[in-house]
Amino acid sequence: MNMEKGKLIIVRHHESEWNKLGKWTGIHDASLTPHGVEMAQKMGEVIKDIKIDRAISSELRRAHRTLREMLNGSGYPDLEIERSPAINERDYGDYTGRNKWEMKDLFGEEKFNGIRREWDHPVPNGETLKIVYGRVVPFYLEEILPRVLRGENTILVAHTNSIRALVKYIEEIPNEEIKNLEIPFGLFLVYEVDDSGHMIEKEIRELK
């Protein structure tokens, strides 16, 4: 009986229309730009050597489309994609749709960085990273981890903050250090995890 654990591959969606415009997107369902689609297709080549057993995206179209194009590019055009709201992007509440750089000028750099990166910085009518963590981690532990431990290589395409929340758990990053974690386009985090879902090994791959 094969008891080898599977790999967990975590990736951010590529460029959306609102990313290009510098807007806080949050749960707004923006589409990929043509450039984002092209890059997503190329991203499939980065993981072509890994057999993909299971594919999961958020409910938002930019994540789903990125994953579909990646699967096409890596040789899995017919693999079903599961979608879950648990890994949707952080809700930016009243800041949704506002230009990030105009908001930086308005708030000043310290508050702006607090909103974007801190663990529990409030957002009017929106979510903190702590709140996102509260929905992402149970989904990971209940719906993803058991099958990874049974040997299924699983790819998950989500968003900056849902990924930051998940990586915080996997890598056991302290609250005060999570502000330093960035999730750029084209970055692949490939994990082997223990029975608690924490990191044993980590490989970083990037779209060149």
The pLDDT value given to residue 1:
43
pLDDT tens readout for residues 111-141: 999 999 999 999 999 999 999 999 999 999 9
Q: Give domain limits for the chain.
A: 8-193
Question: What is the arithmetic mean of pLDDT over 166-187?
Answer: 97
The pLDDT value given to residue 81:
98
Looking at domain 8-193, does it have CATH number 3.40.50.1240?
Answer: yes
Mean pLDDT estimate for the chain: 96
109 annotated active-site: no
13, 14, 64, 159: the active-site residue = 13
69, 89, 127, 159: the active-site residue = 89
13 annotated active-site: yes
The pLDDT value given to residue 207:
87
Does pLDDT of 47 surpass 60? yes
The β-bridge partners of 155 are: 9, 55
Question: What is the arithmetic mean of pLDDT over 191-208?
Answer: 96
pLDDT tens readout for residues 146-176: 999 999 999 999 999 999 999 999 999 999 9
